[in-house]
A and B are shown apart, each in its own frame.
Chain A
């Protein structure tokens, strides 16, 4: 072999090796992404068949990753329905049963005990959310305190939707702000933009024992999220779009939560808004939430 050829062979081998070494993190990162996922269209322009394929693919992936047969649906918003939620601060005792129900219903990571609801322990007389204590562990209700659970307010002028650079989060016609977990790039702009600290980021792949996985899942709600994406409360849309009450409401032992259709004048939520002393958190920001707090006399 001539020296020139030998040098070429050695050079090419080293070059190929260097490229492979440099590209290894990318290959590793892309291992969790199927080609179908990479090439798919945005949720809003998917055809019926494409969406069905995606749902079945996610069901297969869940089976492969977690060993559980789940049913993932995409339930559309209902006509004539606009959701609203109200919470009675006079009734709430801060027991965190709502957060626990959310944790189980929405297939949250067990390791972080994650939940879309954060219960703030507040000084009576104070309305400063930023001074609320979230990790109290004494008997409740404690004297001199009141409790304010905070979750996504499904704002009509949602800052989180405005900042998303890839339109992975948007507002549905029934008022729910949703996230397409497979369109999210994990930049966390939305998390920073939300004045209610309502969004969560999946730092690690969620860990849930197979027997605890809720198999009734919605594509835009409680299906198991991948690592590196943002998630949030959807008013349990896989339940509420079927007419059921949200899991946190059913779990509340004090009946502090009222949920319903804002467009129905006879609904419980409308009665509360029309007859109770109601306030919205950080009203001055103009986010126009669909989540209201109210008091008894």
Chain B
């Protein structure tokens, strides 16, 4: 009994904790937005300016004057425009997504057109498992709140991470590793 009394005194005098920051449960106030990529109005050329940046040319520079009559079936046929475009996205041809004479739209498998910025509905046609994971927050990066009762979040668009022409991540140098490695002490440590 005496032990219980002591235990009560010891445990019972903990501070009365502050109010939790979580608001009372209710309708989420935060919304999930999908990041909208910039509208593509120009493309990079192989020429560079004095600072080494590629010189860009507005799409309309060529497309307002000349209308292509047909789309090439592969990048190898690009002899005048978009030369050197890298393509590694299955066995699709240009016309699988692009539309002759309407460079701002993309074509879905059923023939209907979607705006270039809504490419996400185009990607979903073939990439079902990724689309399913995306819908459940298990594919694609995001920023903002995990707790939508506190605030919103922004989801990445497909093209924020993937180049539609070469969708696989290309090899790149990583950030430098830590120098402690948890094993060796840094030089000079006592």
Chain A residues near B (Cβ < 8 Å): 44-48, 51, 75-81, 86, 88, 91, 93-97, 99-100, 111-115, 118-119, 134-142, 191, 197, 200, 203-204, 240-245, 249-250, 252-255, 258-261, 267-268, 271-272, 275-276, 296-297
Contact = CB atoms under 8 A, between A and B. Distances in A.
B22 interface: yes
B135 to A, nearest CB: 9
Contacts of B180: 112-114, 200, 203
A137 B129 contact: no
A254 B169 contact: yes
Contact of B21 (A47, A76, A267): A76
Nearest to B22: A78
Given A139-B171, A255-B161, A118 B137 contact: no
B138 A80 contact: no
A137 B149 CA distance: 41
A197 B189 contact: no
Contacts of A44: 14
B17 A76 contact: yes
A96 B175 contact: yes
23 contacts: A80-B25, A88-B139, A95-B172, A95-B175, A111-B186, A137-B173, A138-B173, A139-B171, A139-B173, A140-B172, A191-B182, A245-B144, A245-B146, A252-B141, A253-B141, A254-B141, A255-B142, A255-B156, A271-B136, A271-B137, A272-B136, A275-B136, A296-B133
B145 to A, nearest CB: 5
B177 A135 contact: yes
B185 interface: yes
Contact of B143 (A96, A203, A240, A250): A250
Interface residues of B, number: 47
A94 B174 contact: yes
Given A243-B22, A255-B142, 4 more contacts: A51-B15, A113-B177, A244-B144, A255-B141
B182 A118 contact: yes
A97 B169 CA distance: 14
A253 B161 contact: yes
B153 interface: yes
B150 interface: yes
A46 B15 CA distance: 6
B145 A113 contact: no
A258 B173 CA distance: 24
Contacts of A114: 178, 180
Contacts of A47: 15
A134 B181 contact: yes
Interface string B1-44: 00000000000011111101110010000000000000000000
Classify the interface of chain A: helix, strand, loop or mixed.
loop
B36 to A, nearest CB: 17
A113 B176 contact: yes
B151 interface: yes
B15 A118 contact: no
A207 B146 CA distance: 32
A49 B85 CA distance: 65
A165 B27 CA distance: 45
Nearest to B153: A245
A47 B15 CA distance: 5
Contacts of B171: 139-142
B145 A243 contact: yes
A53 to B, nearest CB: 13
Those 10 A-B pairs whose CB atoms lie nearest each other, nearest first: A268-B137, A243-B150, A243-B147, A255-B141, A96-B175, A139-B171, A78-B22, A112-B180, A271-B136, A135-B177
Contacts of A297: 129
Contacts of B176: 96, 113, 137
Given A78-B21, A99-B175, A242 B150 contact: yes
B154 to A, nearest CB: 10
Contacts of A260: 137, 146
A139 B175 CA distance: 10
A233 B17 CA distance: 24
B84 to A, nearest CB: 22
B152 to A, nearest CB: 10
A96 B145 contact: no
A200 B142 CA distance: 28
A115 B169 contact: no
